Copies of this chain bind each other. A is one copy, B any other.
Amino acid sequence: MDKSYKIFLSEKDMPRQWYNLAADLPGQMNPPLGPDGNPVTPDKLAPVFPMNLIEQEVSTQRWIDIPEGILELLYRWRPSPLVRARFLEKALDTPARIYYKNESVSPAGSHKPNTAVAQAWYNKQFGIKKLVTETGAGQWGSALAFACSLLGLECKVYMVRISFDQKPFRKLMMKAWGANCIASPSNETKSGRDILAENPDTPGSLGIAISEAVEEAVTDASGETRYSLGSVLNHVMLHQTIIGLEAKKQLELANEKKVDVVIGCAGGGSNFAGISFPYVYDKINGAEIDIIPVEPTSCPTLTRAPFHYDHGDTAGMTPLLAMHTLGHSFIPPPIHAGGLRYHGIAPLISHSVHHGLMNPQAIDQLECYEAALTFATTEGIIVAPETGHAVAQAIREAKKAKEEGREKVILFNLSGHGLMDLVGYDKFLNGELTDHSMPDSDLQKFTEVLKKYPSPQ
């Protein structure tokens, strides 16, 4: 058995292909539907995304080559370390071997740059000069700003106003990387102006910011501007699979023959997809693996919400996607894991859960902060509040392994550090946080809106 803590992979051993789960899923994926109720054709998406990414979005090819130009971008921080959490194991006195993939080592501090650099590169190849996106707390906006700065693309980020005002630091990161980050709603789009006319003091929302970003992309007369999304879509999941593919190689280097449990926190689903899809492939091919997306009890998309067609945004402007969804009018409670407050989740994950390939769990934020503090004082890293959900589930599994007396191998994704999210830790330590488990009445209320839309097959 390898004695080391961190298992490094050399750059020359970094995976050269992404894994596309769409090639292997059982059953037929339900296609996105347009306003007319018919499947959305690629040409309809052309004003929004460049055609090379649209091709990836609809591809069912199992392995997709990573272009040399993207590898070079990824080398700035990849391969990321796989770490054996020996200190956490010791503290839990568990026979389980716990490994985590440390995605916090990217310059933006999370897994988000894995797809940001890929999307920026494909857009540049397609002749695009400017990318527009939205961001909540700023994790995705800063990742795209970083990617655009490396490639010399212009970058514009619509940031939800309340975060823009209250969380200045990721805004400053975007600025340091040369992006133009403005508060949404803004006066720069028709949808922004309409909302401001009606309610000048609105705190904004992710739904509004998406509307503004898409509007700017599709109305730009030069034809050289596109929109970029940091989660949910198939091509985003694809780009993230490098996480799990690296982890597999690193576990082999550590002489681990088998993984028993794979864990990631899940909001839109991209970091969870990244660590888990290569293992879903194994599971489809007969391996016994427990694959666990972890969500907050306050936003129980996979554990309690129906699998249904719904819009990806609050305003109802996007195509209908077949996914587990709380309904697009869902109003998230004020939990600190901002990245896990999305009403839906990636169609590829929803389809997998629907077919029994995954075992979703929901955990309340108090247990997650408790777990994150255990992690900080053993392994040393202060993780993002989102990542705290993965840590909490890993600890649950390690305790179960102890009860069962089994030497399980547990792998989880450390999707980001929490150095810019310390206010949540502070509130937890001051006893100011509470559980926000969703009451049944809310679930019923929010999912009411889905009745308007068709059921997936």
Contact = CB atoms under 8 A, between A and B. Distances in A.
Given A4-B11, A8-B10, A381-B107, A376 B77 contact: no
A53 interface: no
A422 interface: yes
A5 B380 CA distance: 26
A122 interface: no
A149 B381 CA distance: 11
A19 interface: no
Interface stretch (A167-175, A232-240, A339-347, A392-400): A167-175
Contact of A426 (B4, B107, B172): B172
A6 B176 contact: no
B176 A425 contact: yes
Interface string A128-152: 0000000000000000001001100
A175 B426 contact: yes
A177 interface: yes
Nearest to A148: B377
B6 A173 contact: no
Interface string A1-30: 001111010111000000000000000000
Nearest to A380: B107
A345 B3 CA distance: 40
B75 A6 contact: yes
Interface in A394-428: 419-420, 422-423, 425-426
A12 B5 contact: no
Given A10-B4, A419-B419, A76 B178 contact: no
A373 interface: yes
A109 interface: yes
A176 B107 contact: no
A286 to B, nearest CB: 34
A229 B30 CA distance: 62
B380 A175 contact: no
Interface centre among A173, A377, A380 (most CB of B within 10 A): A380
Contact of A173 (B8, B12, B105, B422): B422
A367 interface: no
A46 interface: no
A175 B380 CA distance: 13
Interface of A: 3-6, 8, 10-12, 75-77, 87, 105, 107, 109, 146, 149-150, 169, 172-173, 175-178, 373, 376-382, 419-420, 422-423, 425-426, 429
17 contacts: A4-B10, A6-B75, A8-B10, A76-B379, A76-B380, A77-B380, A87-B150, A107-B382, A149-B377, A172-B425, A172-B426, A173-B382, A173-B422, A175-B429, A176-B382, A176-B425, A176-B429
Given A107-B381, A172-B425, A176-B425, 9 more contacts: A4-B11, A4-B75, A6-B75, A76-B379, A107-B380, A146-B380, A169-B422, A177-B382, A420-B420
Q: Would you list the 8 A-B pairs with minimal beta carbon distance, nearest first?
A: A172-B422, A107-B380, A8-B8, A149-B377, A5-B75, A4-B11, A76-B380, A176-B425
